[in-house]
Amino acid sequence: KQEVTQIPAALSVPEGENLVLNCSFTDSAIYNLQWFRQDPGKGLTSLLLIQSSQREQTSGRLNASLDKSSGRSTLYIAASQPGDSATYLCAVRPSTDKLIFGTGTRLQVFP
């Protein structure tokens, strides 16, 4: 059974810091991995999607890497801003289209 774990559960940092959020999964047989952002009272917004054949994806200040063999992914946020405060969720997709989510990392960036 696929299980997804995210560390840390919560993180509070001053503005400007570079951050690394971690995601690990138990079964390396995945189709892709996706990082989402969730703001309070809102749905999930897709940030980055990495196919199983890829090593990383970049969008602006965000960079996500994938090491499928070791069951790990990291989300790197450069020069963090207060607007980055949210919960970040990673999800893996096995051969079916079901998304299996981690428990999330709650990030707070203070000025």
**Contacts to other proteins by CB under 8 A:** 4, 31-32, 36, 41-46, 49, 89, 91, 93-99, 101-104
CB of 79 to other proteins, least distance (A): 27
Question: Minimum Å distance from CB 107 to other proteins?
Answer: 15
User: How far is residue 90's CA from residue 73's CA, in Å, rounded to a whole number?
Assistant: 9
- Side-chain-side CA neighbours of residue 25 (13 Å): 28
Query: Which CB sits closer to other proteins, 17 or 39?
Result: 39
Q: 19 or 90, CB closer to other proteins? A: 90
Alpha carbons 46 and 37: distance in angstroms, whole number:
6
Closest approach, Cβ 16 to other proteins, in A, equals: 29
3-class DSSP state of 40: coil
Q: Are 89 and 23 in contact (CB under 8 A)?
A: no
